[in-house]
Amino acid sequence: MSGFSEGGTLNLLAGKCLGFIVSAMLICAIPVCIAQESAPTDIKKSQETSTSSATSSPSPAPSATGKEAKKGSDTPDGLAKKAEQIDPSIYHIGVEDDLQISVWKEPDLSVSVVVRPDGMITMPLLNDIRIAGLTTTELQVLLTEKLKSFVNEPQVTVVVRGIKSRKVYVYGQVGKAGAYALVGKKTVLEVLAEAGGLSLFAKKSSIYVLRETAGKKERIPFNYNSALKGKNPNDNFELLPGDIIVVP
């Protein structure tokens, strides 16, 4: 009996130990299973969130760079806008003016030129041509006629890229004396503003404009205070190329 009791006791102890080991293994395995089950769900949610963000937030359209914007100003539309600022009825081509001459479907004959001090330009096939004093329309007609010997029905376009021949001059008691481009129509007050205005020592009542007409110098008084009031439009008159504003 004693042998049986000892054997039975050992069996019971072994059974209990085995039960504890199995329970411990099950307890350790449960968190692992839970983590494995939840991981695909978390990944799926993360993927859905990133897809939703990409769909709701489209990438902004690329903006034009500085070079592209600048390049746009040299396109035919950009050049046309520059040309619109010039009144063909009063503008005559002069020395140092920058011109773009285009011959349709003839890229070899299309050139950018600057009028030389002798009033001439050089073009392929035509060599030197005197153009100073002509309007853009007159120059187009002239070039069209000359190119008929080389091109079948030439179509010529002349665009003024920069005006440097039309200038007025400001001397005396102003912020910055010098030469100023006369693009379009400008009055005395407008040019004085470009020159930085009058200085503290300027004699407002003694300002005058020197103008050459038919080879003779003409002195035109300018009443600064009256021009500022704006009651009489003739007080702030328009300037002509070559006018000289003198501010004593």
pLDDT at position 67: 44
pLDDT at position 20: 57
Instruction: Spell out the domains of the chain, with CATH numbers in brackets.
Output: 73-162 (3.30.1950.10), 167-247 (3.10.560.10)
Counting Cβ atoms within 10 Å, is residue 190 exposed (0-12), middle (13-18) or buried (19+)? middle
Q: Which amino acid, residue 198?
A: L
pLDDT at position 185: 87
pLDDT at position 73: 43
Question: Where are any strands of DSSP class E within 131-227?
Answer: 156-162, 167-172, 178-181, 208-213, 216-221
Q: Which amino acid, residue 141?
A: V
pLDDT at position 18: 59
DSSP character at residue 187 = B
Q: N- to C-terminal Cα distance for the chain?
A: 143
Q: Which amino acid, residue 2?
A: S
- Block means of pLDDT (10 residues each) for the chain, 248 residues, are 49 56 56 48 48 46 45 44 55 92 96 96 96 94 96 95 92 96 90 96 96 92 94 93 96
Instruction: For residue 155, report the phi and psi dihedrals to the nearest 5 degrees.
Output: -120, 115
pLDDT at position 184: 80
